[in-house]
Amino acid sequence: MDKYTQKLIEEGFISLLLAWLSYLFFYQNLLLYKWQKGLPLPSKTPFVIAGVLIGTGYFLYKWSRLKEKFKESKSFRFLAR
């Protein structure tokens, strides 16, 4: 496995962790706001979607940065020959 693939897998795991933690953060904040007032519990679906969007956005950002970094390093190796 080359270094690019290893970094991509690593960023995939980080983005999954970020998605899960952001879902928990958003849902916890709403629970603290509504549950203490005695209101019914909200649906988890919007918070799951928000977590997935944040995790996907992070992964796409890091993926584009990795592509740029490895394209530059390949072009420098080609020029050095």
The reported pLDDT for the residue numbered 14 is: 96
Which of 56, 75, 74 has its CA nearest to residue 11?
56
**Residue 37: inside a domain, yes or no?**
no
pLDDT, residue 79, reads: 46
Residues of the chain with pLDDT under 50: 78-80
pLDDT of residue 51: 95
The range of the structural domain enclosing residue 67 comes to: 45-81
Position 15 in a domain: no
Query: CB–CB of 4/70 below 8 Å?
Result: yes
Distance CA(22)–CA(2), nearest Å, equals 30
Domain count, the chain: 1
CA distance 54 to 18: 7
Q: Indicate whether 20 belongs to any domain.
A: no
